[in-house]
Chain A
Amino acid sequence: MKIAIASGKGGTGKTTLSTNLASYIAESRICVLSDLDVEEPNSGLFIKAELIHKEDKFKMIPEWEKSKCELCGNCQAVCNFNAVLKMGKMIMVFPELCHGCYACSELCPTDSLPMKQKKMGELKSYKNGNLNFIESKLIIGEEQAVPLIKQTIAYVDDNFGEDVIKIFDSPPGTSCPVIEATRDADFVILVTEPTPFGLHDLKLAVETVKQMRIPFGVVINRHGIGNDSVELYCKEENIAIITTIPNDRLIAETYSQGKLLYPTIPSVKEAVISISEYIENINSQKEGETK
């Protein structure tokens, strides 16, 4: 069972929800939380667990071998990303710009650009009881988030069975990284806040998940601030509001200290309980279907 937690806008409480929900679920069963916001992974700041595994993640990029190169410039001509440039008598490769399409390498008449592994980031796996936390982080300056997201999801799939609840904290926005992070999910939870900014970005996120045809529901964070436009929108569009989390200065303060909220704040505990019940419900429906 894969749940993606997403939001159109940054800062709506995606990470707060992911970390609290995963920690709560792990009180009673095995749960994996994976932070796919690989450019700015923040979930780890809230999870206290022991590092059990670490691995470098690589992407394939071409590396110039001078000896056979005839400087024909075909590599530069076939690269759509300005990642290979012919500079006088040498070929320069810019790993951050490379999408790893292999065109320059495989179309090189003298095989002078073999594909080699290049580190793009690091994956870390942590464990605390039932809670497994997988985090990947892109090297700064590295521009391609999608390959690392793909590999992180693959790592989670390889190491945990179908029956484990997997929670993916997705990157913000509606661009490629979000799509990569959510496309395999069984269900998407969209976190929003009841403000004009929140509503505007929620609409974009809804369009995105609808296009991917993934079932989804909404959690309204900071409920009570702002207005009821998000609720009205959800009603009109027949979108399930799974739960709401009230606006509370204590929540903001506890968050600022890098602490989990549900152990000390009852309203958050209620919210995570209702979300986890909601998930269990979908899960049993899903299992019913497969049987």
Chain B
Amino acid sequence: MKIVFTAKGTDMDAAMDPRFGRTEYFVIFDEDSKSVDSFDNRAIEGEAHGAGPKTAQKLGELGAEVLITGNGPGGNAATVLKTMGTEVLVGAGDMTVTEAYDAYKAGSLKKV
């Protein structure tokens, strides 16, 4: 299963980025192979409007099944994620990626 985190860096020690649409990076953790990958989303800074759906589209291309983030996606992005069937968990904005993963495993993150 591919789990994607909104993050301020590129590895499991990075701090989470509480934002969804304008997150700096995605950290992508593949639970099956235990491999960690990342995606640089900083080009989104150039978008005046509609950062949310655009980022959600990226998430689809990355093949994410689960998204873990801070405050959660806004309306448009939420629609995209729902269409793609991505599971969304929020409330991990103040953690590191590893802590967010542990919290997810422990079931302490809120499902949207």
Contact = CB atoms under 8 A, between A and B. Distances in A.
Do A and B touch, yes or no (CB under 8 Å, in the complex)?
yes
Interface in A72-116: 81-83, 85-88, 90, 92, 94, 96-97
Interface in A121-143: 141, 143
B49 interface: yes
Nearest to B76: A94
A92 B60 CA distance: 13
Interface residues of B, number: 14
B107 interface: no
A82 B54 contact: yes
Contacts of B66: none
Contacts of B47: 82
B92 to A, nearest CB: 25
B53 A82 contact: yes
Contacts, number: 38
A240 B84 CA distance: 59
Contacts of B79: 92, 94
Contact of A92 (B49, B51, B75, B83): B83
B83 A82 contact: no
Interface in B47-89: 47, 49-51, 53-54, 57, 60, 75-76, 79-80, 83-84
Interface string B26-60: 00000000000000000000010111011001001
B49 A85 contact: no
B84 A87 contact: yes
B80 A87 contact: yes
B97 to A, nearest CB: 26
A96 B77 CA distance: 12
B49 A87 contact: no
Given A82-B47, A82-B49, A92-B83, A97 B76 contact: yes
A88 B60 contact: yes
A96 B75 CA distance: 10
Nearest to B55: A82
A63 to B, nearest CB: 15
B49 A97 contact: yes
Nearest to B74: A141
B49 A143 contact: yes
Given A94-B76, A96-B76, A97-B76, A85 B54 contact: yes
Nearest to B48: A81
Contacts of A82: 47, 49-51, 53-54
Contacts of B57: 85-87
Given A87-B57, A88-B60, A81 B80 contact: no
B75 A85 contact: no
B54 A87 contact: no
A92 B76 CA distance: 10
Contacts of A90: 83
A88 B47 CA distance: 21
A7 B79 CA distance: 37
A239 B2 CA distance: 64
A94 B79 CA distance: 9
B76 A87 contact: no
Contacts of B84: 87-88
B50 A87 contact: no
B60 A87 contact: yes
19 contacts: A81-B50, A82-B50, A82-B53, A85-B54, A85-B57, A85-B80, A87-B60, A87-B84, A88-B60, A88-B84, A90-B83, A92-B79, A92-B80, A94-B53, A94-B76, A96-B75, A96-B76, A97-B53, A141-B75
Given A82-B50, A92-B80, 19 more contacts: A82-B49, A82-B53, A83-B50, A85-B53, A85-B80, A87-B57, A87-B60, A87-B83, A87-B84, A88-B60, A92-B53, A92-B79, A94-B76, A94-B79, A97-B49, A97-B50, A97-B76, A141-B75, A143-B49
